[in-house]
Each structure stands twice: as structure tokens, then as C-alpha cells.
Amino acid sequence: MKNMRYLAISVVILFILPTIAVAFGEETKEYVNRRAVIWNEFFRMTTAAFVVGAVVSGTLIWVIWRFRESHPKNKEPTKWETGESH
Amino acid sequence: MGGHSSWPEWVYIGVVVAILVWVGADSWYIEHLIDHAPAEAEIIKVTGQQWFWSFEHADGTKEVGELHLKKGHPYKFEVQSKDVIHSFNIHDYVVLMDAVPGRINTVWFVPDEAGTFPIQCREYCGLLHYNMRGTLYVEEL
């Protein structure tokens, strides 16, 4: 019984309400605003480019900082360098 | 690789790949969105030649160097060239399309503001390229 109620609610939300909205909705013609769409896309892509740039250059900076010869953790040769692991 | 954790590498790869996939998907969607002209768009033939623009409306009216359109109405430009490659640009409405000899390229837009706007060739097309300009007049309906 409970399932049937959920099913009925789902049908109303998914199919009946959109149909009523289309049937009785105002007939207004909305066009794509080319200027807004293209500039928004430009700024989104710029943000993505800067994020990728930050991730890549940040990783490189960390790798260079962490694996420099003078880093305290690099004082002793690793087990891979001494051949102990083989 | 014994004892060596590689999860930071996988996170790194995951983040970069996710961003790049999103970039591709979003660009594809936007391109698809602005590519399809509405059926009621009025077709205007745009011809570029050294060094001026001429326009032909659907009713046969011709204009040279200036273009009169109505605010809020969709227009589809069929852009072509008579000599070399030009590029038809209405900067304020982000309309930009190459005019290539032997080819018709299309671009559409809806002017949403009344006023006058510059039209400019955006592909170097010879000595007077800099002066290959026109004016768009958008009038209230």
C-alpha cells in the first residue's frame, strides 16, 4: 500500500505536473543568449585552466622541494639506492 | 614498487582527468547549444569582398555597409566571400564567422538591445582590411 502511494506521487511529479505545465504554460519564446552563453563558457574554461595549472605546478613544486638533496629526509640513501631491497 | 604507496599519483591523475573530461563535455554541450538556429530565424545573406560587407534580406532588400535588424527577432547569417577569406564579426553580440570563397558558413543570433553596433572584418584580407567595417542598427519592434 505504501509502495503504491510512492508510485502515485512519483507519477504525478514526473509525468502529470510537467504535462499540465506545458499545456497551460505561457507561450513565451526564449532564445539562447549567445553573448551570455559564450562569455560564461569562456570564464568557466579559464577557471578550469587555472585549476589544472595550479594542480600540475603545485605538484611539481612539492616534488622538487621534497626530493632535493638537502631535504632532511634524504640524508640517508634509501633502501632502493643501497640495493638492500633486492 | 614494494612498500611504496601510489595513491597520491592516482588522486592526481583522477583530478586532472576529471577536469579535462568536464572541459570537453561542457564545451561540446555549449557548441551544440549555440549551433542550432531556431526555425523561424530570418536568413540574411552576408557577402564579404575587398573591402566591404553587403547584406541581402529574405525579402530581397539589399544593404551595403550597414544592416538594419529588429530587436528580439532571431537572424541566421549565411556568410560567404567573393574573393579572399574574410571574417564577419559583430563584437558586441559575439558573432564571428569566416567568409570563405566557394563556401557558405552560417551563424545565428538574436539582438536583445536596440542601438548601433560596429561590424568588422576579423581576418586580414589585404590593404584596406582595417577599413572593412559596417554598422549594425538594431531597432525596437
ipTM above 0.85, yes or no: no
- B contacts of A31 (beta carbons < 8 Å): 38, 74, 110
CA distances from B20 to A44, A55, B77 (A): 12, 13, 33
All three cell numbers of B31, joined, read 557548441
List, for residues A37-52, the tens digit of each pLDDT value.
999 999 999 998 998 8
Task: Indicate the residue of B16, B22, B34 with minimum beta-carbon distance to A37.
Answer: B34
Q: Per-block average pLDDT, block size 10, for chain B (141 residues)?
A: 74 88 94 91 97 96 96 96 97 96 96 96 96 96 77
Record: contact A33-B110, CB cut-off 8 A: yes
**Per-residue pLDDT, A23:** 65
Partners of B30 on chain A (C-beta within 8 Å) are 37-38, 41
Tens of pLDDT, residues A57-82: 998 999 999 999 899 999 988 887 88
Do residue B16 and residue A56 have CB atoms under 8 angstroms apart? Answer: yes
Q: How far apart are CA A61 and CA A56, in angstroms?
A: 9
Q: Say whether pTM exceeds 0.90.
A: no
Give the residue among B59, B63, B41 at the shortest CA–CA distance from B108.
B41
Using pLDDT thresholds of 50, 70 and 90, give the confidence band for residue A8: confident
